[in-house]
Structure 1
Amino acid sequence: MTNAVSGLPFDDIRSLLTEFPGPDLEAAAACRAREAQLTKPPGALGRLESLAEWLCAWQGRHPPSAERVVVAVFAGNHGVVAQGVSAYPPEVTRQMVANFQNDGAAVNQICKSFGLGLKVFELALEKPTRDITSDAALEEAECAATMAYGMEATEACDILCIGEMGIGNTTVAAALSLALFGGEAEDWVGPGTGVAGAALERKADAVRRAVEHHRPHLGDPLEVLRRLGGREIAAMTGAVLAARLQRIPVIIDGYVATAAAAVLKALRPDALDHCLAGHVSAEPAHRRLLAELGLTPVLDLGMRLGEGSGAAMAAGIVKAAADIHNGMATFQSAGVATKNV
């Protein structure tokens, strides 16, 4: 995408998109060479082998490292909740943030199980975004600043997992997906935290009206983000972007986190090559969105919790892939005979 210099806040974001490093092919080749010497038949560990190679390619080194894995959970509130699209009131966002901070949520327990770090980012919870059915969620400067804030999540980590908390944000994810990939509102709307019947119809109607209201401006993915997104979504988009610039592989959580990453894919086709889909959510549209992005999930456990839980579970698999690759003996070191030719 070519853009004239205008001095607008999004210009800095567009400039960063031109600086993306590619995969380190030498590190990937070194991974494959060691993999061929490990005490197992070729390919016997299946996708675990390709995960180790993916880590090397995007960390730019061999051996891969999974010592400092951080789950970043971004929390925001949404004005579209006023349209009756959620089963829970917006104050639950703040209450769940407190639960994360008090070690009481599912993601806390998953992080403890796998030795992962957890960071929680509150994003002006007292100030919901504007209702996307009638106004832009954020001004351009607000959106760009929130993306920049999300970039801070990459500090001191080898692998970044992104997740979120925000009542109403599956409505926002559906609106983003509809604007970016087309179809009908019903293709992208699901139960979220448990809406059904008339409430589900209201949710689909809100998504439809939001996209129609902003349609003249939806040719630019960054405009899609600021008009239809939310603070936690903009922050996740920024985090994924910063991770690419810093050679940090990313594990994406569920539907909402994937919608945030999709904005970058719409801006640059290879923008998510350093990303892994941690899981496929039970939220129906998530599988469709992953297909649009060409991402194959690591796990399919029927989860639909959000809060980075699926990404954290997948991080345990990725850590195991790195540990297996780094710790297994070679045929030579173990004194094991190799395969007869």
Structure 2
Amino acid sequence: MNALGQLVLMRLRMLMRQPEVLFWTFIFPVVTSLFLGLAFRNDSLGPVRVAVAEGAGAPALMAKLEGVPELSAEVVDEASARRRLARGQLSLVLLPGAVPEALVDPSQAEGRTARLLVEQALAAPEDAARPAVVKATPVSEPGNRYVDFLIPGLLGLSLMSSSLWVVAGSLVAMRGGKLLKRLAATPMRRSQFFLSYMLARAGFALAEILFFCAFARWLFGVPMFGSYFTLTLVGLAGALCFAALGVLVASRARTEEAVGGLVNLVSLPMMFVSGVFFAAGNFPSWLQPVIRALPLTAINDSLRAVMLEGAGLASLGAPMLVLAAWTVVPLLLALRWFRWT
């Protein structure tokens, strides 16, 4: 074989020995297709979900809407209905009145279908040719837009990615440079070493959270219905959680290539299923308990509850317990498995 052939063969062998190349070439497309296929599976079309806001005329409107098999209607309070419309959980909200008002999100594809079905349901038989029986109002004010849903998810994703990559990457780099071996000879305890990484990460996360909030407020007008203090505490809890996961990921990895593959293995599934870009409710019901137990789901739900619903820390008990578990358990495992060389 000539020199060119030998060089090509050498390069192919080097590529096959790099875990990150195999991951991005073979595993990542399969994982992406699997999760997005589950989220946007081509099932038979179900009924369009609409809500009637509580009020004097709500029972009469519900009686008419229930006669349309293509609609799934329920009566809820207006504030909850608006939040669910903004999150994509409803296609239309109907406000009772002399002329009922239909709130629709222009960014939702099903909004127009829902409006036409509602108009058809409310039209009297003799008025079937005159569909203008409701007033359609596009909803795009802050708190009810897709960007308002997206920003907390992106903040959670940023905290996860930066924590995992910074902590795990630096630990493996120190191991490769023999610095960890030198630190092992000092009277420092392993727990102190781990906590120093986590606390440093929390300090950097504080600046990250404040910058993200200011950026979202200035550029997109994303509202804050809750407390900035509560949001900061939630963000710091998430940063500590993912820093603990980063320590665990780096416990045994020897090379930066190996730790890169492990970080991707941990983070990419959560990026798809934990409600960063679209609601986690798009996934099948049998997968929901697993999704709710993931740390990125917990922090995304908590950030959205604080920013868009004004939730306080006391009402976030369940997701905070999830984050606490994902902080303590990885730390205990890392204390047992971590090696200095």
Taking structure 1 as the reference length, what is the TM-score of the superposition? Answer: 0.24
Higher relative contact order (CA 8 A, sep 6+): 1
Structure number with greater Rg is 2
| Greater helix fraction, Structure 1 or Structure 2 | 2
Taking structure 2 as the reference length, what is the TM-score of the superposition? Answer: 0.24
